[in-house]
Chains A and B, each alone.
Chain A
Amino acid sequence: MGALSNILLVDDEPLLLSSLSRVLRLHYTVFTAENGMQALDIVQRHNIKVIVSDQRMPGMLGHELLGKVKEISPNTVRLLLTGYSDLDAVLNSVNAGQIFRYINKPCSVEKLREMIELGVQIHDRIVAMQSEAKLAKTQPNALPDPPATLLFVGYAPSEVQRLTSKLVGQFIIEQAKDIDEAFAALNRASVSVLISELNFGEHDGIDFLNAVKKEFPHTVTIILTDMIDATMAIRSINEAQVFRYITKPAGEEAFAFVIEEAVKRHRAYQTTPHQNIKYTAEAISPDQNFHTSAEKLRAKLLAARIALSKPR
């Protein structure tokens, strides 16, 4: 089996660290840190495949730590343990930490182990793809990028107009008033960034994004909503790996900046797919969070695709 994978647990409660390391020790080399600074030190010195951090810690909050870890060690898969939902923290981390999963405390050892194992596998896979990519890195894409397509789902045209006032001319802007239209649009053209509302009545917004992500893993998704809900935010990451969760009202300039970032991310996914954590995770194990309602939505999506392809 070889050397055990390095994992890092960060929590300000030493007794929790000791209890977790006892149960994980058999399968991993467990590093522990009681605060963010210690954790960063360990990340710098060891090849940590998965980091599990508590959100609430004195000095540095979990999502801040994970944001820094991402910079130091981009391949480290980041998990955030959240005690009781702290809305601000969750929303901040969604947009800043690039977190793979949120785990609610208390979490069973089994579930935690499962997550860590998936994280380790993702890490290994990313590393492997990176080296492959390095070998194949011979064709530089000298071609200028075609204009990216933005798809807005569930907004009034006036709102879209306002939001894109700073983006006119740079992107192709598509609008869909509901999920069905969105599916049709997704099948018609390659959508770089999908900006979606969360509330679609009978359909669950996260499931919709999940279904989209499953079929179009490289489409970057952004939630723009006035629904401030930590559970939704956590699900949006855990299930649909959304790029940003933006609460209304959004300023045009800030929005334009987010869109530019998203388009960059989309290009990165296309050239180096291993960066797409969802894509990689999907390749390792089918999505365990894929609900029946998401399944139905996916079926719809596929049906739309078939319907569109028939006339050809």
Chain B
Amino acid sequence: MLGNLQKYREIIISVALFLIFDLSVLVVSSLTTGQLKDDAVAVNLASRQRELSQRIVKTLLQIQIAQSAGQSIEEPQTELAMTFKIFDETIEGLRDGKYVTGGDYQTVMLIPVETDSAKVYLERAFLIWNPFKEKLFRVIAAKRAVPQEDLQDAVEYASKNNLLLLELMNVITSEAEKKLADKSNTLRMIQISGIIAALINFFVLLFHFIRKLRSQDAEIARYSENLEKMVEIRTRELRRAQEQLRATNASLEKAKGELEVLNSQLEQKVEERTAELRNAQTQLIQSEKMAALGQMVAGLAHEVNTPLAFVKTNLEGMREFHKDLFKLVEESEKLCDALQRDDLDRIDEHFARLAEIQRHLKESNRIQDISDMLRESLTGMDRIQELVINLKNFSRLDEAEYKYADIHAGIDSTLLIANNIIKNKAKVIKEYAPKVFAECYPAQLNQVFLNLITNAAQAIEHSNGEIRIKTEVVDGYAVIRVSDNGKGIPKEHLNKIFEPFFTTKPVGQGTGLGLSICYQIIEKHHGSIKVESQVGVGTTFTIKIPTKQTRRDDKVGENVLSPASELQPA
């Protein structure tokens, strides 16, 4: 705002100056014009005095003529009175300044004479006028006829002084005229100087603006010059850029070619890598399978080992004991032989030996031992047989892959397989619903159960371990819960545990695929597997699978574990 004002300051000042000049000229000239009018009145009236004085003389003469001719003097007398009156007031007005009867019998203001010379002349005029006035007054005041001597006196005075008075009036008039001329000259000077000042101001302004415009023009010229330069530079730059672009384009074109080559190579590499990865995946899955198998085999080996150990011990013991029995049989045979031959000495001898052997057998409780050994060995063999049957049940090798199966049977056979892992760690608490069947791949489900149960056992690090297995059927789903009171899974691991290769076990002890494979197996059953865990309290895995599969088309057999299947859980 202030800046704008600043910008217009020059114009404002110029305009103000212009207005001041013009206004002052106007004021001065109007003032002067007023004075000029007054002066003109003065000149006019002063000039009229000459005529009036002439008329006074004329009327005097007329009165003289009329009187001498006996005619009425009334008319010239009136004229004289009138003229006298006007002359008198005018001359007084010239001296003192007052309202007088003007040219058209209108009252005007008469200003007193100003110049000293005029005043002197006026004084002289009064010297003439005042005696004249008295004489004239007598003429005017006379009724019907003017006394002759008065008339004569007046005429004589008039003829004697009229010229002088006239001359004086002339001088005064010319004085007034001179003054008027002076004044109008002054006025003209003022007007001219005002116009000149205005013109100067105008020219100053004009010059100023022209200069300004010129400097702006110069600036614009400079700008446009700069602009041209810049345009030139920019053009050059653009041209260069264009060239570069063209070059870049070319190299891009080249790069594109290379890229295409690389791309094809990459595709090839990706294919190779994919193949490698698939291979690695296959191997990993294989190793997970082997790990599971190893676990199972190890478990079974231990389970078989125990009955095997005591069966073997029993058999080894029986081999020793068998010697005693053999001796018994031998002596019996010898005794029989002696009895047959009636060899009394031999009979006694063999009988004594037989009795000794029998005593030994009895003392050492061999007979009882042997029957115990046989019985216990058979028990052991039964246990081994049971394990083998269970192994068959677990793997379901002799059954249809896909069937309507008893979930409990699967869990039970899994528990037997996992027995050696659980045995030392936890008590298993089964909370089974009366009957839980589902359409499934029993062997694969068993694999899931084994994984969960093994994990549960491994999570338990105290002596009051409990693994709770609960089953129920809810809304057409078989629900299996495997809970432990182990160490629990930290929150940050919970959402990762179904990811392939996620493991918290040390390297070499688990591929990290177990739960991811479980996830897949359950997903292929159109079911769900969820985990809840609290560190230090325990973990619960909940599996839900539909008891009846609606979509049998995408049932998956072996390829659950095939490399082609997706390992990434949702």
Give A contacts to B, CB under 8 Å: 13, 15-16, 18-20, 22-23, 26, 56-59, 61, 83-84, 105-110
Contact = CB atoms under 8 A, between A and B. Distances in A.
Interface string B419-446: 0100110000000000000000000000
Contact of A20 (B308, B313, B372): B313
The list of the 8 closest CB pairs from A to B, nearest first, reads A19-B313, A106-B309, A19-B310, A23-B317, A16-B310, A109-B316, A19-B314, A15-B310
Interface stretch (B31-39, B107-115, B299-307, B479-487): B299-307
A57 B302 contact: no
Interface residues of B, number: 27
Contacts of B309: 13, 16, 105-107
A84 B297 CA distance: 11
12 contacts: A18-B310, A19-B314, A20-B310, A22-B313, A56-B302, A56-B423, A57-B424, A61-B424, A84-B301, A106-B305, A106-B309, A106-B313
Interface string B297-336: 0100110011111111110110010000000000000000
Contacts of A15: 307, 310, 376, 379-380
Nearest to B423: A58
A255 B423 CA distance: 35
Nearest to A13: B306
B118 interface: no
A106 B420 contact: no
Nearest to B314: A19
B373 interface: yes
B369 interface: yes
Contacts of A105: 305-306, 309
Given A15-B380, A22-B369, A23-B320, A83 B302 contact: yes
Nearest to A87: B509
With most chain B CB atoms within 10 A of its CB, the pick from A61, A107, A109 is A109
A106 B308 contact: yes
A106 B316 contact: no
A19 B302 contact: no
Contact of A16 (B302, B313, B463): B313
A19 B463 contact: no
Contacts of B311: 19
A84 B376 contact: no
Contacts of A23: 313, 316-317, 320
Contacts of B308: 106
B373 A19 contact: yes
A39 to B, nearest CB: 15
Interface in B324-373: 364, 369, 372-373
B306 A16 contact: yes
A105 B373 CA distance: 19
A18 B463 contact: no
A16 B306 CA distance: 7
Contacts, number: 68
A106 B376 contact: no
B360 to A, nearest CB: 11
B458 to A, nearest CB: 12
A23 B320 CA distance: 9
B377 to A, nearest CB: 8
A56 B364 contact: no
A19 B376 CA distance: 8
Contacts of A19: 310-311, 313-314, 317, 373, 376
Contact of B376 (A18, A58, A110): A18
Contacts of B302: 56, 83-84
Contacts of A18: 310, 372, 376
A26 B364 contact: yes
Contacts of A56: 302, 420, 423-424
Nearest to B508: A228
B316 A108 contact: yes
A11 to B, nearest CB: 8
A141 B447 CA distance: 65
A84 B298 contact: yes
B372 A22 contact: yes
A109 B301 contact: no
Contacts of A107: 309
A11 B442 CA distance: 35
Contacts of B364: 26
Interface string B503-515: 0000000000000
Contacts of A108: 312, 316
Interface in B361-405: 364, 369, 372-373, 376, 379-380
B370 to A, nearest CB: 9
Given A13-B309, A19-B311, 13 more contacts: A13-B306, A13-B310, A15-B379, A16-B310, A18-B372, A23-B317, A56-B420, A58-B423, A58-B424, A59-B424, A61-B424, A83-B305, A109-B317
Contacts of B463: 59
A56 B309 CA distance: 14
Contacts of A110: 316
A280 B316 CA distance: 31
Contacts of A109: 313, 316-317
B297 to A, nearest CB: 9
With most chain B CB atoms within 10 A of its CB, the pick from A13, A19, A20, A26 is A19
B314 to A, nearest CB: 5
B82 to A, nearest CB: 154
A58 B422 CA distance: 9
Nearest to A58: B424
